[in-house]
Structure 1
Amino acid sequence: MDQTAATVRPLGAERPLQRGKWRRSFWGYAFVFPAVAIFLLFLWMPILKGFVYSLYHIDFVKGDTYVGFDNYKMVLKDPDVVTAVKNTLYYMLLCLVLGFWVPILFAIAISELRKGQGVARVAAYLPYVVPVVVLYGLWRWLYDPVGPINAVLQKLGLSQISFMTDTKWSMASLVIMETWQQFGSAMLIYLAAVLSIPRDWYEAAEIDGAGVWARIRHITLPSIRNQIALLFVLQLIATSQGYQSQFAMLDGGPNNATLTYSLYIVKMAFNRLDYGVASALGVMMFFVLVILAIIQNRLSNRGGNVS
């Protein structure tokens, strides 16, 4: 018998196979459908409506009026937008300078411990689980003119610092507070990466006479550069949307020194009730975040190398 003829299936033989494959996939799609529906309804639907509302003057009494790109023109002419953008960039810079390296340093320090490593991990992670209400109350007390920090400064013969009312210190004070609370989660990621480095490399370096700083510089940091690159972009995305502490602690003050871009969107929408301009601000921010997300995706796919 011809082998090619033996392998030819009769008409209709493919249908049972397709039906069986569909039956196996049906319940998977059925379980995924609610999550996809919720995702589309509560995430992408507001995003699409934001694009539409940015072209309208929203009035819940008289009805919406199409204004084209007038909302975007108002955004570009608004001096408060320039202030908000500058404050946001300053906030992002401070988070990188003051906070980005803290979890890396703690991860390396904890990995070098011979005893008590578990206790150190828990202690470093505990601030992350502190509720924000408790966090803000605690740091308001610490930053108070008669609080512990200023009391220590006075004992050292230094002048008081107006953390909450001085425009030079207000944003930095918020960054210090947020760094203290949030570095624990990033530290665990770095610590896992550091502990995955083969110990043989360190032993060989010690035999060659390399000190602690030489091992960190030539072994540890190059080995975790992928994680550093990814978390760097993630921090840029997170800090570009920062508004919670600025709103809860200072409401954008003093003198708009902590008025970030996201906080200005909230104020425009819920204080001034100008949802059209707020939507235009959100659309502009959306495109910036899309660019950052593309960079993050490239880093994820290429192991931390942009090129």
Structure 2
Amino acid sequence: METHAAANAPLERKGRMAVFWRKHFWGLLFLLPAFIIFILFLWVPIVKGFVYSFYHIDFVKGNSFVGFDNYKVALHDGDAWTAVKNTVYYMFLCLVIGFWIPIVFAIAISELRRFQGIVRVAAYLPNIIPVVVLYGLWRWFYDPVGPINGVITGWFGNEPIAFMTDTNWSMISLVIMESWQQFGSAMLIYLAAVLSIPRDWYEAAEIDGAGVWNRIRHITLPSIKGLLGLLLILQLIGTSQGYQSQLAMLDGGPNNATLTYALLIVKYAFNQQNYGVAAALGVLMFIVLGLLAIVQYRLQGKEGDVR
């Protein structure tokens, strides 16, 4: 009997595979283009980035293996450490200035009894402004004779602030601009989460005499805690790779005050055409972000165990 069953096992597997392919063939066929694009434009560049970090890239004479020389150049470049410091500073400013604005707006809008739809649209409008228009608009805002300095000098009698050329203000100015433009999309996500909280909870809290702050503290914030953690991680990942506004507005200046890590990679690759060092810098960023993701995953797992 055992010999007979062993002989029939391959036939049973073939039968199950035939049923599987008949059932899922068309679904897998429709997934195939997306799968191919995913491989070609995500994983192939990642693998090539790791490989190219060990080569000197020359499109004329051909690539030559240099070992860890690209990593040595990257780690001994003073601009690289300046870029790391600026990137951490940029992430910190985005967290302090930009992360809480959508939450505050979402909670405030959820408390409105009238014109809530109009306020939602108005809050989201900055998010649809094209970046070319955005940068031109804020260059005018930050100009020494622009409207912001007009208020500073006209209303308060202070000296105008050189937002774009003062190293103390340049990064802060970019973060304020980006926070103004991007808070609308995050605000709508938070607002949807806040409005999904059962109203009975708030009514019960009001009956018990809870004020607005107590309702926010004990009902709203605990209910959206998971969403807060998710968007926090996404913001940290996004801001660690930020370079667009730094490149378009100031090109990393003044005096490298807005030179971020991702912008340094772009400069190595496209200004100096040193693709090997650029790839090495990218691999180092990949490793650091991967380790942070593992730490965050472990911390979340421990929180789940405690609960």
Does TM-score exceed 0.5, indicating one fold? yes
Query: CA, structure 1 residues 243+305, in 2 after alignment: closer, same or farther (shift >3 Å)?
Result: farther
Q: Give the Cα separation in 2 of the matches to 1:295 and 1:37.
A: 31
Q: Which residue of 2 aligns with 1:130?
A: 129
Query: CA, structure 1 residues 78+210, in 2 after alignment: closer, same or farther (shift >3 Å)?
Result: same
Structure 2, unaligned runs of 5 or more: 1-7
Q: Which residue of 1 aligns with 2:271?
A: 271
Q: Give the Cα separation in 1 of the matches to 2:72 and 2:206.
A: 62
Query: CA, structure 1 residues 70+267, in 2 after alignment: closer, same or farther (shift >3 Å)?
Result: same
Q: Which residue of 2 aligns with 1:120?
A: 119
Query: CA, structure 1 residues 61+187, in 2 after alignment: closer, same or farther (shift >3 Å)?
Result: same
Q: Give the Cα separation in 2 of the matches to 1:281 and 1:113.
A: 48
Q: Secondary structure at the match of 2:82?
A: helix
Q: Give the Cα separation in 2 of the matches to 1:80 and 1:30.
A: 48
Q: Secondary structure at the match of 1:150?
A: helix
CA contact (8 A) 1:233 1:295 kept: no
Structure 1 residues 263-302: aligned runs within 5 Å? 263-294=263-294
Structure 1 residues 109-188: aligned runs within 5 Å? 109-156=108-155, 157-188=157-188
Q: Which residue of 1 aligns with 2:73?
A: 74
What CA deviation, in whole Å up to 9, does each residue of 1:192-221 have, x standing for no partner? 111111111111111121111111111111
CA contact (8 A) 1:246 1:260 kept: yes
For residue 291 of structure 1, what is the amino acid of its counterpart?
Answer: L
Q: Report the alpha carbon displacement of residue 48 of structure 1 after superposing the two structures with TM.
A: 0.8
Q: Give the Cα separation in 1 of the matches to 2:130 and 2:208.
A: 48
Q: Which residue of 1 aligns with 2:4?
A: none
CA contact (8 A) 1:99 1:183 kept: yes
Query: CA, structure 1 residues 26+151, in 2 after alignment: closer, same or farther (shift >3 Å)?
Result: same
- Structure 2-normalised TM-score? 0.91
CA contact (8 A) 1:226 1:305 kept: no
CA contact (8 A) 1:54 1:71 kept: yes
CA contact (8 A) 1:167 1:257 kept: yes
For residue 113 of structure 2, what is the amino acid of its counterpart?
Answer: R
Structure 1 residues 230-241: aligned runs within 5 Å? 230-241=230-241
Q: Which residue of 2 aligns with 1:221?
A: 221
CA contact (8 A) 1:154 1:160 kept: yes
For residue 132 of structure 1, what is the amino acid of its counterpart?
Answer: V
Question: 236-245 or 158-167, which moves further after superposition?
Answer: 158-167
For residue 95 of structure 1, what is the amino acid of its counterpart?
Answer: C
Q: Give the Cα separation in 2 of the matches to 1:15 and 1:100.
A: 55
CA contact (8 A) 1:298 1:306 kept: no
CA contact (8 A) 1:241 1:262 kept: yes
Query: CA, structure 1 residues 296+40, in 2 after alignment: closer, same or farther (shift >3 Å)?
Result: farther
Q: Report the alpha carbon displacement of residue 297 of structure 1 after superposing the two structures with TM.
A: 6.2
Query: CA, structure 1 residues 31+113, in 2 after alignment: closer, same or farther (shift >3 Å)?
Result: same
Q: Give the Cα separation in 1 of the matches to 2:106 and 2:57.
A: 50
Q: Provide the aligned C-alpha RMSD in A.
A: 2.3
Q: Give the Cα separation in 2 of the matches to 1:273 and 1:305.
A: 47
Q: Secondary structure at the match of 2:113?
A: coil
What CA deviation, in whole Å up to 9, does each residue of 1:62-121 have, x standing for no partner? 222211011111111111000000000000000000010000000000000000111111
- Structure 1-normalised TM-score? 0.91
CA contact (8 A) 1:233 1:292 kept: no
Q: Give the Cα separation in 2 of the matches to 1:126 and 1:209.
A: 37
Structure 1, unaligned runs of 5 or more: 1-8
CA contact (8 A) 1:268 1:274 kept: yes
Q: Which residue of 1 aligns with 2:64?
A: 65
Q: Report the alpha carbon displacement of residue 16 of structure 1 after superposing the two structures with TM.
A: 5.9
Query: CA, structure 1 residues 103+255, in 2 after alignment: closer, same or farther (shift >3 Å)?
Result: same
For residue 147 of structure 2, what is the amino acid of its counterpart?
Answer: P
CA contact (8 A) 1:103 1:183 kept: yes
Query: CA, structure 1 residues 149+13, in 2 after alignment: closer, same or farther (shift >3 Å)?
Result: closer
For residue 250 of structure 2, what is the amino acid of its counterpart?
Answer: L
Q: Give the Cα separation in 2 of the matches to 1:103 and 1:109.
A: 10
Q: Secondary structure at the match of 1:166?
A: coil
